[in-house]
Structure 1
């Protein structure tokens, strides 16, 4: 069982042995309601082989999950079809706990959502569908039950799911959940999974000693993909220092939000990852495949609740999307080059924010992400550095052609046909 904690520098995670833990999560919100145990076993083996180490799962039913034949829900139904939160289905939680035990045995850290936005009144999700708002009087009891079921597996608790905080009442719901779970299980890390593009969280959470790290969501809106680095900058500069990560960049092959025509491809999701990692959110990254998060099966329906996305792929096809390997490769790069303490650095002489650069705390390494091929000019001399270009599409390594002119470092165009990572290592 992996037990993680926040590092002393408040920028990353580490194991109880003090080893760096790069948070590489997959998004499986709907696993508890949609995946059979046999499917779950197969899924775990594949993602383990790829190097993933965290699984983000909604404890309760995901509001926009794909249809399933399993028909197992966390609560009994009322006559109007909504949940009767006073009648819990223990068989559902028995099964969920078994799935968590299977995952932990294979080396995964569960990241479990306590209350998705549609379960809390006044949130944007509740405005769309408020039939399953949990009564406030049951929140504490529910969290205590979750604690009894899952805290022995040392999960991360994502107190909220895709939420905003529009009212005092919605804040009170999440504060109660956060305070309760942290008091019962101080060994479990906590965070908030917040709505896409949201930059601010209420002071009640920002200054709480019970919140351990920041999550943000650059999301699935084609018009705002610059949020991958804008939000990374914002959260890395909060007045309370905590590790931060992009917990929901654009999912691979998901349709553009608001049901616009088009889908995010492998390059799009890879770019979102590297721009987040080098703009301040270097604690880790979360991947998503359109078909895995909703656990879709061919021939089943997919509701247009929430942001409204085009139809998912069958989960057995979605698990093989190449973008998952790109995220795995990012984790490997962080390990190979020992990128443990990166700071964003403004050295790129180009009229764009798309190219991102970072430097290690000891200045021994400089890292640049270049999404579109160009000559890269830096306003600093890196004469005593060896530069390597990494072709992120084919995962190939090449030497860089570097020159120095008028106190500038100039890295010539490469010969690859996609995005690259340029790493400069200081000579000993």
Structure 2
């Protein structure tokens, strides 16, 4: 069983002292929508791709696809709403079985305790008339969850997709964070926040109970640069913690706000690499449109919230090629020892799309180049051996490199898609 910790310098995860690259899939709707047979197949497939974390909503996901299953975390009362003081043990028995299955396959469960639709004043609360969880019900629910799941050493994601609109809303998250950390001090904690949001309230930045930062660059086609701008924002917070993009654009997700178009394999790969080399090098999360909502043919998929186009059926979404790209990214990080990366602003080009990072001692350099070009770098890197890696077909090639007045020039490569350029300093 994996027991995650934080490195001494607070920049990455460790497991038994060894660097751990966080590679998650978002399967928010698992506990309400997935049969145990489907779950077993899903776990086997994602395990084969190298995934090691699963982000799951502990309660019902508000925008999940319809399902014939009938599992609810709380007892329903006459008007159909939840009695938040009456937990349904059968629901949590089944959820615990699913967590146990995942842990046995080498996954770390990352469990969201309170998605924002359950909390008053949040952006999602304003879109739904459903009853919100009373503040007095939060502590007994969180204690129950901790008693149930902490033996599996999960990550506890305190919030789901939240803004921080009021002191009343913040009190829910403050209570949840402190209760779960008190009862499960060895489990890591974080906050999953609204897309494109860069700011956290000071109380959470300064709270020692918070272990790492999540941000989400999100699904709006106009703001995909947030993959790297938010990475830099969180990397440079005054309190240092590991950073990761917990929700980049999902593969084949329709653009938010009901805009026509979908994010393809290249888009999600680009979001991943731009995040990883811009300060969010602790790991990254993948999403497939049809997996997170666990969509089945003929079932409803609402447009509540950001309004996305219809999902693919989960069996098709599971096989999207982009998931293999994310597994390949993890493999490259491990093969080249790309641990504790720091952003490095050395690109002499009129774009921020090309991202560069180095290891702490500059022994290794990683450069993401989304579109082929002659690459000029404001550093003399003649001590490095460079390899160009084609990310679409996963091919490797030698780089053609020249040096001019302390500028390193890497010539155009022969690949047609995006590449990673890896530089390793010659130890001789």
C-alpha separation between the residues in 2 aligned to 1:299 and 1:197?
Answer: 32
Cα distance in 1 for residues equivalent to 2:118 and 2:76:
15
Q: Distance in 2 between matches of 1:215 and 1:86?
A: 30
1:119 match? 118
Are 1:393 and 1:419, in contact at CA under 8 Å, matched by a contact in 2? yes
How many Å apart are 1:76 and its aligned residue?
A: 2.2
CA distance in 2, matches of 1:346, 1:130: 47
1:287-322 deviation line (CA, Å, top 9, x unaligned): 000000000011111011111100001111101000
CA RMSD of aligned residues (A): 0.7
Question: Helix, strand or coil: the match of 1:295?
Answer: coil
**What's the CA shift string for 1:187-236, capped at 9, x where partnerless?**
00000000001111111110001000000000000000000000000000
C-alpha displacement at 1:75, in angstroms?
Answer: 1.4
Q: Does 1:50 align with 2:78?
A: no
SS at match of 1:397: strand
| DSSP 3-state at the match of 2:257 | helix
Aligned residue number for residue 11 of structure 1? 11
User: Secondary structure of 1:259's match?
Assistant: coil
Q: Is the 8 A contact 1:191 1:214 kept in 2?
A: yes
CA distance in 2, matches of 1:385, 1:79: 69
Does residue 1:335 correspond to 2:334, yes or no? Answer: yes
Unaligned stretches of 5+ residues in structure 1: none
State how far apart, in whole Å, the 1-side matches of 2:81 and 2:268 are: 36
> Structure 2 CA distance, aligned partners of 1:130 and 1:201?
27
Shift of 1:132: 3.4
Q: How does 1:4-403 map to 2 (within 5 A)?
A: 4-15=4-15, 17-403=16-402
Using the size of structure 2 for normalisation, the TM-score is: 0.99
> Take 2:131 and 2:383, find their aligned partners in 1: how far apart are those partners?
61
Distance 1:384 1:304 in 2: 54
How much does 1:130 deviate? 4.1
Shift of 1:405: 1.2
Offset at residue 56 of structure 1 (A):
0.1
Unaligned runs of 5+ in 2: none
Q: Does the aligned pair in 2 maintain the 1:246–1:281 contact within 8 Å?
A: yes
Deviation at 1:89, TM superposition (A): 1.4
Inter-partner Cα distance in structure 1 for 2:143 and 2:342: 39
CA distance in 2, matches of 1:92, 1:259: 34
2: CA distance, partners of 1:40 / 1:129? 30
1:129 is displaced (CA, Å) by 1.1
Contact 2:344 2:358 in 1 (8 A): yes
Count of aligned pairs between the two proteins: 427
